[in-house]
Amino acid sequence: MVAEKETLSLNKCPDKMPKRTKLLAQQPLPVHQPHSLVSEGFTVKAMMKNSVVRGPPVAGAFKERPTKPTAFRKFYERGDFPVALEHDSKGNKIAWKVEIEKLDYHHYLPLFFDGLCEMTFPYEFFARQGIHDMLEHGGSKILPVLPQLIIPIKNALNLRNRQVICVTLKVLQHLVVSAEMVGKALVPYYRQILPVLNIFKNMNVNSGDGIDYSQQKRENVGDLIQETLEAFERYGGENAFINIKYVIPTYESCLLN
């Protein structure tokens, strides 16, 4: 009864009400919001009124993969490669301490191909320049080593790094023409090499009416993939196109047309 009398007296005399009580009386009552329920798609919970359907996870087909320590870096830091860096008026180049023709290709060429995953200087420079030098002077030594090169090539492409993909594609174009029968010997390995190229085949720079300088530098991924596939078809023999078409259905022959 005493509490009721105090409440009535406060209502009759609002001026005597405490400031905190006045503020509480002026504020509107909170509206109760229904709690949203996050649910997976195609489930019973997804049919409820207050449910929010969670979308599917991102596939990440174009996402770059993290790099791992390569055997090439370990051998280089240990000083096992007969190479040195030489500065020239045109830039840096490799100085070989032995004749390239006398190298053990079964040992060195797979290691240099393993360095395709490298993206930091001087590892990437030695790996890429060393590969081109060995392919240029290898001759008949390249074909027997080809099965050992497939896994390093596949690992480099699976990084899905644009820079690494461009360098690997240029190496593949050089590899196909480096010696006889290499192009035909690559055909059974198309199913390991080409799936990543199928993902990036249509990736071109949309520069509108501007100038795309990446074409001059040969750094456009889509154009390089097209060039590489055409080189595979030209030097891969009669079964090359069928095997390319199996992995990359949108590829059109450059010889039949």
**pLDDT digits over 202-225, tens only?**
777 554 444 455 455 566 887 888
Q: Is residue 18 part of a domain?
A: no
The rounded percent of the chain whose pLDDT value lies above 70 is 79
State whether residue 68 is helix, strand or coil: coil
Residues 6+ apart with CB under 8 A from 190: 232, 243, 244, 246, 247
Handedness of CA 178, 179, 183, 186 (dihedral sign): negative
Handedness of CA 3, 7, 12, 15 (dihedral sign): positive
Q: Which residue has the higher pLDDT, 18 or 144?
A: 144
Separation CA 94–CA 124 (nearest Å): 12
Q: Token pair of 174, please?
A: 């050089």
What's the rounded mean pLDDT across residues 60-71? 78
Residue 195 near residue 153, CB atoms below 8 Å:
no
Q: Which of 176, 161, 179, 151 is nearest to 230 (CA)?
A: 176
Q: Report if residue 212 sits inside a domain.
A: no
Spatial distance between the Cα atoms of 229 and 226, rounded to a whole number of angstroms: 5
Tell me the residue ranges of DSSP E strands in 36-184: 37-39, 51-53, 83-88, 91-96
Domain count for the chain, please give it.
1
More confident residue, 31 or 64: 64
Assigned token pair, 63: 């996402």
Residue 135 lies in a domain: yes
Q: Is residue 133 part of a domain?
A: yes
Look-up of token digits 């229904």 = 34
Average pLDDT of the residues of the chain: 77
Q: Is residue 24 scored above 70 in pLDDT?
A: no
89 located within any domain: yes
Whether 46 is covered by a domain: the verdict is no
Please say if the pLDDT value at position 1 is more than 50: no
3-state DSSP assignment of residue 55: coil
Higher pLDDT, 209 or 86: 86
Instruction: State which residues form the domain around 101.
Output: 71-202+217-247
Does 17 map to a domain? no
Residue-wise pLDDT tens digits, 154-205: 888 888 888 888 888 998 988 898 888 888 888 888 888 888 888 887 777 5
21 found inside a domain: no
Cβ-proximal residues to 140 (8 Å cutoff; 6+ apart), any chain: 179
* CA-based max dimension of the chain: 110
Report how far residue 252's alpha carbon sits from residue 257's, in angstroms, rounded to the nearest whole number. Answer: 8
pLDDT of residue 199: 85
User: What's 75's domain CATH number?
Assistant: 1.25.40
